Amino acid sequence: MSTTTTSPKLNRIGLPLAAYKGGKTTLCAGCGHNAISERIIEAFFELGVDLQWVAKFSGIGCSSKSPAYFLGGTHAFNGVHGRMPAVATGALLANRRLIGLGVSGDGDTASIGIGQFVHLVRRNVPLIYIVENNGVYGLTKGQFSATADLGSMLRNGVVNDLPPIDICALSIELGATFVARSFSGDKKQLLALLKAALSHRGLAVLDVISPCVAFNDHEGSTKSYKYVKEHDEPLGDVHFIPSYEEISVDYEPGTTRDIRLHDGSHLLLSKLPEDYDPTDKMAALRTLEEARKKGEHLTGLIYINTNSKDFIELLNLTDEPLATLPVEKVRPPKEALDEINESFR
């Protein structure tokens, strides 16, 4: 028992940070994924998210183990390799009130699971979808993944000669409504983006470069800490202002955009490159391509569309969770069956 007299800081629903923590990580010391877990804990704690409504999803791989290391008191479903989107889709249809948080990796998303990822994006399922992207398969000891950059080198000297799948560009092309890239080492940016994702209605894709200290952190890798720090090209600064706080910051006009999110929160993007419009699909794709040509990792909020319907609205689902509808709502009356039987006579 604590002997100190200072009580821990509580969030707006009266919970301490500890309530948002998970089990002890089994990932390598220094793994980018651990930093992402910490940011998730902070984002959910700071916004005072009620954990009863949180559902964590993951596939297979180092990234997909991580949901055990944050938000420990919440429900989680660790499925099969590359198929987390389907599991999450089903669960969120079953209970539309759930706050879905998916964690995947680059192998899980861009190789074995790319089919499911593509259709998840098309459906705009209301889910935060984090790709912990290190360009390499960790649990199987260091093979390239489909997000490895052209010319990037493995520890054993093998050079990648296939072009990478850019998860952000792919998502924008497919009609994603919230597309961001970040770096596990950029605490401030990642935290703001996570909070914004929590306020977005629809799928929020967060492609987070998260270096693998065991297999992809050496000279010649384009996803090492050193390379990413040197080539991180933030697309301005990201500030999140929750719905329950007032906007009290002044920003230089012309380079700042104020995006109102679904729940009334605001995303302020400052110091943007001149005329960058994150609601312009073509501009977003062009900017990504230009950064790629320069060997840079473009980070920040790349694209957003706050006007699209999410999958729940598209299916016109009733307000109550389908999972717990009473029998009289889901079993038509006997007269209905009588009528149906009569139609077959």
To the nearest whole angstrom, how small is the minimum distance from the Cβ of residue 174 to another protein?
12
Give the CA distances from residue 54 to residues 13, 50, 128, 230, 232, in Å, rounded to whole numbers and listed in that order.
Answer: 15, 7, 11, 36, 31
To the nearest whole angstrom, how small is the minimum distance from the Cβ of residue 283 to another protein?
29
Nearer to another protein, 123 or 223 (CB): 123
To the nearest whole angstrom, how small is the minimum distance from the Cβ of residue 242 to another protein?
23
Nearer to another protein, 162 or 323 (CB): 323
Nearer to another protein, 108 or 186 (CB): 108
Q: Report the alpha-carbon distance of residue 51 to residue 305 in Å, rounded.
A: 27
- Note whether 176 and 303 are within 8 A (CB): yes
Residue 237: which H helix or E strand, with range?
A: strand 237-241
- Note whether 155 and 138 are within 8 A (CB): no
Helix 32-46 to helix 187-199 angle, to the nearest 10 degrees? 50
Nearer to another protein, 97 or 271 (CB): 97
Q: Report the alpha-carbon distance of residue 89 to residue 105 in Å, rounded.
A: 18
Q: Report the alpha-carbon distance of residue 223 to residue 134 in Å, rounded.
A: 6
To the nearest whole angstrom, how small is the minimum distance from the Cβ of residue 123 to another protein?
8
To the nearest whole angstrom, how small is the minimum distance from the Cβ of residue 322 to another protein?
4
Q: Report the alpha-carbon distance of residue 37 to residue 234 in Å, rounded.
A: 21
Determine how many CB atoms are found less than 10 A away from the CB of residue 295: 14
Nearer to another protein, 165 or 317 (CB): 317
Q: Which residues bind another protein (CB under 8 A)?
A: 51-55, 57, 67-68, 73-80, 83, 85-95, 97-98, 115-116, 118-119, 123, 315-319, 321-325, 327, 329-332, 334, 336-337, 340-341, 344-345
To the nearest whole angstrom, how small is the minimum distance from the Cβ of residue 306 to another protein?
23
Nearer to another protein, 34 or 256 (CB): 34
